[in-house]
Structure 1
Amino acid sequence: MELSDTILARAERFVSSNFSRLKRPRIQKMKMAFIFILTYLCFFAPVHQAQPPSATISDLSLKNMDFAMNLYRRISTYHDKNIFFSPLSISTSFAALLMASDGVTREEILKGLNLEQLEKEDQPELIPELFQLLHENITQNGSLQLDQGMALFMRQQFGIQKTFKDQMKTFFNADITTVDFADTERSISLINDYIKQKTQGKVSEMLSGLNELTQLLLVSTIFFQGAWEMPFNPNFTENAAFYIDNYNIVQVPMMFKEDKFYTTEDVRLGARVLNLPYREGVSMLILLPNKDKDYTEIEEEITAQKFQNWIKKLQKTKLEVNMPKFKMERSYSLHTILPDMGITSIFSESANLTRLSKDGFFKVSEVLHKAVIEVDETGTTAAAATTIGIIPYSLPRTFTVNRPFFFFIYHEDTSSLLFMGRVIDPTKN
């Protein structure tokens, strides 16, 4: 017994004395991982059952990104105009509806949102908890101006399940309101006022009409305003040509900035990539097709894996960046788009929303999504004076965004895609 104790004591001293020497360079990273693990434990499970949350959040972000690409391709089939939406806002809304659905309806939502592999039978609230944890991770320091709103507007006689109502409040901070849809004018005013508040006045009227037979209306809004880490000087902004195609050219306010930027090139895809960081760990990634490449060929090839590869291959380079100012306000009736992605029964008479209410049979009549963005020179004055060394005597390369391009706004730590869009004509709002 004493011999065993002696061996154990020696082993402990060996580990203790060598840990700091061998692992010192990794201590800072381990501290960060530990913080995430603690946060995870608070929301998910006892210590002995816990799994590293960073991997799970990463999986959620990856799944949501592929959902975003699939949804983008569906939207793009309707028109060849500008596109802007928030895949995170949409998937978060339907993650909430997962708690209300069952059977085929639930299976369709999981499959359509690409979340099947995250589903665990013994943890029915895992996916909502993951979305909650992801949202708190993104907005934890409070400096990121990301206003995401969710609301359920229900007819007055709708007997909502208390469990579902409590879950919506807990995981999604949702606003749940009863509405007399028979009074369409008042209902429209109420819903539009909610949207106006959630978009900080940027979207004043989303609904123009409403079916008086509506049972349940899910509204998802998101508003983002970020300050560039390296703002553009408005004194350098000048009108320049933007080539919509070979036959259509428009004049747009083109911003200019010379500095060191992170960039890369996807030779196989035929496009260049530029990273423009906002403050507080959020960046815009621009994908610019080469001059001889049609953007329609590239949009079919964009995947979550490619996106992650671009981020990994970014290298700091001295660049002259020319980028157009643009403003977009886009709204979508998702109940006409999501059925193409396999989410159908929730909009039909076969909808299984038994966890929402047992007072009858209900379906989702409308799902409306609106996103607003404005890109200009604005940035923080402190960050404007960032002293990044310039390579002596090197001639700057140029990155001129003067033709249709794609953009993605993502949270760097979680690789979560907040927004994505396509700019065909910067002069069109």
Structure 2
Amino acid sequence: MEKILLLFVAVLASTAAQFDYTFPDYNRTPLGDSIDVASMKLLKEIYEQSSDKNVVSSPLGVLTLLSLYASGSEGKSREEIMALLGSNDYEQLSGSYSELSERFASLDPNYLILANKVLVSNKYTLDEGFSKTARDYRSEVDNINFENQKIAADAINNWSSSKTKGLIDHPVSESDIDPTAAIALLNVIFFQGHWHVPFNASKTKEQEFNVDRSTTVKKPMMHLRQSLHYREDNEMGVRMIELPYKESKFRMIVVLPNEVDGLPGVLEKVATQGLLENVFRMYPAGAEVDLDMPKFETRSKINLNDVLSKVGVSGIFKNAASGIVKERGVRVSKALQEAFVKVDEEGATAGAFTGLVAVPMSSWSRPPPPIPFKVDRPFLYAILNDDIVLFVGTYTH
């Protein structure tokens, strides 16, 4: 039984502010719900297994390649993947991910790239059924000699670098390449969004950030006072805001625990119920939100073998999948991801933020006081396109 490498590479960057904005009509779908819950399960395990609690991941990359892998697997391995992906109908699920790959491929590559690649050892031949699914997922397919570990690593790194504009240019080393590998499945997601919310760099000031109940550090905090979509959920113990991007239907959700040490408990809850229920209940706050939020940059290199096993996907590491290459069954030897996020006010200018819902007022009334939203403790964030979670992360110190 030969080996297979699953590689998930993701990168996110946010940049400048724009202004004329109208809230889009967001759609909620069964696929979005299943990606949401699976994403939060993965984030919880990544957070718990990471020594550095500043983590970022693109679960969508993981789920996309697992869905592709499931087309060539059977039995327990496929059942475990299907359970994580929230479906019991593989044909329907595969069709959904195929349509999603097609949809994202049609977007402007200047701000979103979702790309899949299949590298096949020159000693093996792809199974016809798996090859068709890979094409449906808009995957590039190339042959490679894994026995030359340097050439194989260089090929993967060069592909990643070209798709992420050089931001992730070395996700694998020679030691990550198994010379006996039969195939590698690769995924890149790159997003570079432009704020509609106008952060002004001159208003970024050093302020206190509570790492825990006894530790405080200074962080550069961006400032914004604006009408934003907002929600409080006392059962989950959080407040949430939505920061929209210029690019259609892209938005960042910031989830702030009520308590300084509340993030682990919030992760437990979202791993069960996801975020979308709250996201789709967000409405204009009814007053301006007085937002202070840290600018930050996080890079995570994640070994996903243990993470996937913890969320119930362990068969792929033990059992042979017979429908991927013709010559013999394969199993997954390594699953890994490198992800990067940068959140700042780059290019932002002060100005009007039009198109937001205003608070009705009479000529005699005074505006309601602003709602303070100070992100001064460990928090959770997510980047969505419509109802699809692209990136999730935690910031803690």
TM above 0.5, yes or no, is yes
Question: Which structure: greater helix fraction?
Answer: 1
Distance 1:383 1:137, change over 3 A: farther
Contact 1:411–1:417 (8 Å) recurs in 2: yes
1:327 match:
297
- Mapped to 1, the partners of 2:105 and 2:156 lie a distance apart of 26
2:49 match:
78
1:341 match:
311
Contact 1:150–1:219 (8 Å) recurs in 2: yes
Secondary structure of 2:29's partner? helix
Amino acid at match of 1:328: T
Give the superposition deviation at 1:260: 0.6
Distance 1:113 1:393, change over 3 A: closer
Amino acid at match of 2:79: E
1:110 match:
82
Give the superposition deviation at 1:103: 2.7
- Mapped to 2, the partners of 1:144 and 1:97 lie a distance apart of 29
2:15 match:
none
- Mapped to 1, the partners of 2:368 and 2:218 lie a distance apart of 31
2:375 match:
401
Give the superposition deviation at 1:211: 2.5
Matched, 1:288 2:262: no
Secondary structure of 2:113's partner? strand
Q: Residues 188-217 of structure 1: CA distance to partner in whole angstroms, max 9, x if unpaired?
A: 111111111121110121112223222322
- Mapped to 1, the partners of 2:119 and 2:351 lie a distance apart of 42
1:175 match:
140
1:155 match:
121
- Mapped to 2, the partners of 1:138 and 1:362 lie a distance apart of 29
Matched, 1:271 2:238: yes
2:267 aligned to 294, 299, 315, which one?
299
Query: TM-score, normalised to structure 1's length?
Result: 0.77
1:220 match:
187
Give the superposition deviation at 1:249: 2.4
Distance 1:384 1:101, change over 3 A: farther
- Mapped to 2, the partners of 1:102 and 1:278 lie a distance apart of 41
For 1:5-24, list aligned pairs within 5 A.
Answer: none
Work out which structure has the larger RCO, using CA pairs closer than 8 Å and 6 or more positions apart in sequence. 2
Distance 1:132 1:403, change over 3 A: same
- Mapped to 2, the partners of 1:255 and 1:382 lie a distance apart of 12
1:198 match:
163
Give the superposition deviation at 1:375: 0.8
Q: Residues 316-351 of structure 1: CA distance to partner in whole angstroms, max 9, x if unpaired?
A: 331111111111222222233212222223222x32
- Mapped to 2, the partners of 1:141 and 1:149 lie a distance apart of 12
Q: Residues 86-135 of structure 1: CA distance to partner in whole angstroms, max 9, x if unpaired?
A: 1222111111112222233222221232222xx06xxx3x3222112234
Amino acid at match of 2:395: V
Distance 1:287 1:343, change over 3 A: same
Contact 1:216–1:366 (8 Å) recurs in 2: no
For 1:100-139, list aligned pairs within 5 A.
Answer: 100-116=72-88, 119=89, 124=91, 126-137=92-103
Larger Rg: 1
Contact 1:333–1:368 (8 Å) recurs in 2: yes
More displaced stretch, 388-397 vs 180-189: 388-397
Give the superposition deviation at 1:371: 2.1
Give the superposition deviation at 1:263: 0.8
Give the superposition deviation at 1:163: 3.5
Aligned residues: CA RMSD: 2.6
Amino acid at match of 1:235: S
2:336 match:
368
1:236 aligned to 192, 203, 221, which one?
203
Distance 1:95 1:105, change over 3 A: same
Give the superposition deviation at 1:144: 7.3
Matched, 1:357 2:325: yes
Contact 1:228–1:379 (8 Å) recurs in 2: no
Question: Which structure: greater strand fraction?
Answer: 2
Contact 2:207–2:218 (8 Å) recurs in 1: yes
Secondary structure of 1:225's partner? strand
Distance 1:379 1:240, change over 3 A: same
Query: TM-score, normalised to structure 2's length?
Result: 0.83
Unaligned runs of 5+ in 1: 1-31, 34-53
1:186 aligned to 141, 148, 151, which one?
151
More displaced stretch, 328-337 vs 387-396: 387-396
Amino acid at match of 2:301: S
2:288 match:
318
Secondary structure of 2:269's partner? coil
- Mapped to 2, the partners of 1:383 and 1:95 lie a distance apart of 44
- Mapped to 1, the partners of 2:187 and 2:238 lie a distance apart of 33
Distance 1:293 1:134, change over 3 A: same
Q: Residues 111-162 of structure 1: CA distance to partner in whole angstroms, max 9, x if unpaired?
A: 232222xx06xxx3x3222112234445655377222222222322011123
2:131 match:
165
Give the superposition deviation at 1:300: 0.8
Give the superposition deviation at 1:418: 1.3
Secondary structure of 2:280's partner? helix
Amino acid at match of 1:295: L
